[in-house]
């Protein structure tokens, strides 16, 4: 179990931080940047949840997603095999895929790209989606130079799709979607 007795450790004052295996790395290391961006995505989803309080189903999905994101960050902060350390499995991605399919059943077919916006919940879903996409790019970049659990990439890919579809749902089941009109301002 996790036990945090003190928040100020002074361990990072020199520009380094500890990974989950105890090794020290610069705070701007790609692995740290990747799991830091997962944390940022989690915070964006926390703000999104402020706009889903009246929607118990959406809020419950986002609560599960926040926990899964934290699990993904815990996985990512421990390089290598890490023995019995927490590793993200395929269940979170499968759950997201099933939820996307269910949410999408109620939405009209898109005939254009959707611009970020509309109602506040939808707009925040788009912000969270773009942070997740950035995290995904960083994790993929990291995977080119160090081993990374491929389930993290899969999870992030499904999560960005989930946030897109949830954003449409939060936009009046797509009726409030702001659609791209190619060349509209030429």
Q: Is 7 within the bounds of a domain?
A: no
Neighbours of 105 (CB within 10 A): 7
What is the spatial distance between Cα 171 and Cα 105, in angstroms, rounded to a whole number? 15
Q: How many structural domains does the chain have?
A: 1
Q: What is the pTM of this model?
A: 0.91
Model pLDDT, residue 13: 77
The CATH number of whichever domain residue 33 belongs to comes to 1.20.1200.10
Model pLDDT, residue 2: 66
- State the residue range of the domain holding 47: 17-179
Q: Which of 6-15, 62-71, 147-156 has the lowest mean pLDDT?
A: 6-15
Write the pLDDT tens digit of every residue in 45-89: 999 999 998 899 999 999 999 999 999 999 999 987 655 678 899
Q: Is 27 within the bounds of a domain?
A: yes
Q: Is 62 within the bounds of a domain?
A: yes
Q: Is 121 within the bounds of a domain?
A: yes
DSSP 109: P
Q: Is 184 within the bounds of a domain?
A: no
Q: Is 93 within the bounds of a domain?
A: yes
Q: Is 97 within the bounds of a domain?
A: yes
pLDDT at residue 110 is higher than 60: yes
Phi, then psi, of 9 in degrees rounded to 5 = -110, -20
Q: Is 3 within the bounds of a domain?
A: no
Is residue 72 within 8 Å of residue 156, measured between CB atoms? yes
């Amino acid at each position: 179990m996790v036990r945090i007795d003190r928040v100020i450790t002074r361990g990072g004052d020199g520009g380094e931080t500890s990974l989950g295996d105890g090794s020290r790395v610069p705070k701007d290391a790609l692995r740290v940047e990747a799991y830091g961006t997962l944390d940022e995505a989690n915070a964006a989803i926390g703000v999104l949840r402020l706009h889903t309080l009246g929607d118990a189903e959406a809020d419950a999905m986002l609560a599960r997603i926040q926990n899964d994101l934290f699990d993904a960050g815990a996985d990512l902060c421990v390089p290598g095999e890490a023995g019995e350390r927490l590793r993200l499995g395929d269940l979170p991605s499968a759950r997201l895929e099933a939820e996307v399919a269910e949410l999408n059943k109620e939405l009209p077919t898109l005939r254009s790209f959707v611009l970020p916006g509309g109602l506040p919940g939808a707009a925040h879903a788009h912000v969270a989606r773009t942070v997740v996409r950035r995290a995904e790019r960083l994790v993929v970049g990291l995977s080119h130079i160090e081993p990374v659990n491929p389930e993290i990439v899969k999870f992030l890919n499904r999560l960005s799709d989930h946030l897109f579809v949830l954003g449409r749902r939060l936009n009046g089941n797509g009726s409030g979607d702001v659609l791209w009109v190619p060349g509209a301002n030429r």
